[in-house]
């Protein structure tokens, strides 16, 4: 069999993979506009199930530059750790200088080599690889979405003048990194996370600086020692974007090996590291490895200076989402149209009014609640008045009353006043004042009477319309718009400073992480590393998206139609009482046809005797 036949076989394999992946990924359905909720088809992670292997093939004698380029692109994306076969397509100098780990360009379709065939007497020729770029990985394995941008790179070929390849074409100059189409990217690369500790807030009380791990999403090759690679990626440090708000105890460490046995115990060997920080290193590594294992009971860590063991119980103390409210975090609330706040327990039972003033119908002349945000411990709620002019708090307890206004707005109307109160897991309340004359983002710190005005860097003329803060308090989702323009999503970092009496906060590193969405209606945190977004792409209807914080679309959940949705609420906490699928994100929505709850990829209408206004999770 000659190389052309083998290349064809590889491409048949890739095409078969594309068909299988497309078949497995179907399941996009519509939110019901009326009648009974419709069943959602479950999308499986096809790449994990199929495990299609790609084997490299070395160049053959007499290959043209175009065939050589196709073979190189195939071999560079094969399951080979050191790219040894791909380097056989290069001159000796190029093989020594090429940096395949510099990043990955992901194209919409197969890379297209273009250029003229060389004449018989040519000794050098250039070809280009062109396509539409849909994503990229940088050298830190961080994913970034591209909006089908034109991609073009030049490859230079020379005819070898001596040595064993004399008279053969070889690549003498090429871009660093790899080029792959999105089908093979899904086959070759796997989304995982590495974990780092949320940086301490210098202005917060010690009790507000409880340690918690923050996920940093990356992509690694599936079949090239993924456990050791993931552990080493954690040791290499966080992405450039997340770095300013996290800290690591793995700095300067080299991972010798990482394995998980059949007994669900991980064994990691390190070179370097501070023995005094062994437990914290183990906490970071436990979560990083557990990301690839359905169940991990213990991690045994060894270094030259000693070692330690970490149980799953110990790991849970700092796990991502530990500040999301645990069982309280999955307690749903329904706000009725008459202003009352009620607790929702299960379908078929009437929601129960909360204790205190928020569970009562407001009387004429009294404060009338508008938007409500329940603190993650469910003991207190922040309430914006129906007129959008003031923010108060109320205890959800017998005798609980509205406090004095904490924030006031001078906006001309409710739709331009205070909006989107959101609690982090450290009892800081965040909200937006949309007053056109004085727009601002505010943080209300527990125990501090004066709200903190938060500087937002990089707005570039846009105004913040609403926000949602992550439970760990490090990242914040913002909905931004220009005057008269569509609302879009950006993700920012929260950086604290100042003192306990005079805290400061600013939002930096604004990242338009989902440029493919041309308009966004609502956003919520569905997990410590996942956003639930109600939005639309160009020329498409509004849908419900599950997106990673890097903008990548979750492979575990199908796209879901949401044309009738108006608002959504989600939680980073998990439905641990649900034995069938405890990892499902809990999503609540309101639409023109009523309230719905998403469970096991199926919409359930929530019947009620009273007219409803909103469905709310704590946070």
Residues 417-460 have pLDDT tens digits of: 999 999 999 999 999 999 999 999 999 998 787 899 999 999 99
- In DSSP terms, 298 is beta-bridged to 265, 311
Which tokens go with 19?
């068909």
- Is 179 within 8 Å of 268 (Cβ atoms)? no
Q: Specify the pTM.
A: 0.88
pLDDT for res 260: 95
pLDDT for res 36: 28
Which tokens go with 329?
């975090």
Q: Where are the alpha helices (DSSP H) in 172-328?
A: 182-188, 226-235, 278-290, 312-316
Name 536's Cβ contacts closer than 8 Å, sequence gap at least 6. 517, 518, 519, 542, 543
Positions of the chain with pLDDT under 70: 1-52, 207, 294, 347-348, 555-561, 575-585
CATH number given to 326-616: 2.120.10.30
Instruction: State how far the Cα of 396 lies from the Cα of 382, in Å rounded to an integer.
Output: 10
Which tokens go with 463?
């105004």
Closest to 494 (Cα-Cα) out of 245, 323, 324, 321: 245
Which tokens go with 175?
């871009």
Q: What are phi and psi of 277, to 5 degrees?
A: -105, 20
CATH 2.120.10.30 in the chain, residues?
326-616
Instruction: State how far the Cα of 381 lies from the Cα of 392, in Å rounded to an integer.
Output: 9
For residues 51-87, b (16+ Cβ closer than 10 Å) or e, as one string?
ebebebbebeeebebbbbbbbbbbbbbbebeebebbb
The 10s digit of each residue's pLDDT in 576-595 is 544 334 445 678 888 777 88
Closest to 331 (Cα-Cα) out of 574, 115, 541: 574
Instruction: Count other C-beta atoms under 10 Å from residue 167's C-beta.
Output: 11
The three-state secondary structure class of 319 is coil
- Is 605 within 8 Å of 564 (Cβ atoms)? no
Q: How far is CA 585 from CA 20, 421, 450, 474, 528, in A?
A: 26, 21, 35, 20, 11
């Amino acid at each position: 069999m000659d190389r052309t036949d083998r290349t064809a076989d590889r491409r048949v394999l890739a095409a078969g993979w594309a068909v299988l992946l497309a078949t497995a990924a179907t399941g996009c359905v519509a939110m019901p506009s009326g009648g009974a909720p419709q069943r959602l088809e479950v999308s499986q992670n096809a790449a994990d199930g199929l495990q299609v292997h790609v084997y490299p093939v070395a160049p053959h004698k007499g290959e043209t530059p175009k065939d050589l380029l196709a073979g190189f692109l195939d071999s560079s994306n094969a399951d080979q750790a050191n790219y040894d076969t791909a380097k056989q397509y290069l001159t000796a100098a190029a093989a020594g200088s090429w940096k395949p780990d510099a990043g990955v360009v992901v194209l919409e379709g197969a890379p297209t080599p273009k250029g003229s065939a060389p004449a018989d007497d040519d000794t050098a020729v250039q070809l280009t690889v062109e396509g539409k770029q849909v994503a990229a990985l940088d050298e830190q394995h961080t994913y970034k979405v591209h909006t089908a941008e034109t991609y073009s790179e030049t490859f230079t070929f020379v005819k070898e003048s001596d040595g064993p390849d004399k008279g053969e074409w070889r690549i003498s100059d090429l871009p660093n990194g790899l080029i792959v189409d999105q089908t093979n990217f899904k086959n070759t690369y796997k989304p995982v996370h590495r974990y780092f500790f949320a940086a301490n807030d210098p202005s917060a009380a010690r009790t507000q600086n409880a340690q918690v791990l923050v996920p940093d999403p990356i992509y690694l090759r599936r079949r090239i020692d993924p456990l050791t690679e993931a552990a080493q990626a954690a040791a290499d440090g966080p992405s450039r974007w997340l770095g300013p708000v996290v800290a690591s105890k793995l700095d300067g460490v080299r991972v010798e090996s990482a394995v998980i046995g059949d007994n669900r115990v991980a064994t990691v060997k390190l070179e370097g590291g501070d023995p005094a920080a062994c437990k914290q290193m183990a906490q970071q590594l436990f979560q990083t490895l557990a990301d690839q294992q359905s169940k991990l009971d213990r991690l045994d860590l060894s270094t030259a200076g000693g070692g330690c063991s970490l149980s799953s119980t110990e790991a849970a103390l700092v796990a991502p989402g530990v500040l999301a409210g645990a069982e309280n975090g999955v307690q749903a609330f329904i706000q009725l149209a008459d202003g009352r706040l009620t607790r929702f327990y299960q379908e078929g039972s009437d929601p129960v009014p909360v204790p205190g003033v928020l569970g009562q119908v407001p009387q004429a002349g009294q404060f009338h609640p508008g938007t409500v945000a329940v603190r993650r411990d469910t003991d207190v709620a922040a309430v914006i008045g129906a007129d959008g002019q003031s923010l108060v708090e109320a205890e959800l307890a017998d005798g609980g009353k509205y406090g004095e206004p904490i924030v006031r707005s001078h906006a001309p109307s409710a739709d331009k006043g205070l909006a989107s109160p959101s609690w982090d897991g450290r009892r800081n309340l965040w909200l937006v004042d949309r007053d056109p004359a004085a727009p601002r983002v505010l943080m209300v710190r527990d125990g501090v009477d004066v709200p903190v005005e938060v500087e937002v860097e990089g707005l570039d003329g846009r105004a913040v319309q609403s926000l949602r803060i992550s439970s760990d308090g490090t990242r914040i989702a913002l909905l931004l718009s220009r005057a008269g323009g569509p609302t879009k999503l950006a993700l920012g970092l929260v950086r604290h400073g100042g003192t306990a009496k005079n805290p400061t906060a600013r939002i930096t590193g604004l990242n338009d992480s989902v440029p493919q969405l041309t308009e966004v209606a609502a956003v919520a945190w569905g997990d410590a590393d996942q956003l639930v977004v109600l939005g639309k792409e160009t020329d498409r209807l509004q849908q419900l998206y599950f997106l990673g914080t890097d903008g990548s679309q979750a492979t575990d959940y199908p796209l879901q139609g949401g044309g009738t949705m108006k608002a959504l609420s989600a939680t980073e906490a998990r439905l641990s009482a649900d034995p069938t699928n405890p990892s499902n994100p809990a999503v609540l929505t309101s639409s023109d046809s009523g309230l719905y709850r998403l469970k096991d990829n199926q919409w359930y209408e929530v019947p009620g005797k009273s007219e409803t206004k909103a469905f709310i999770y704590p946070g």
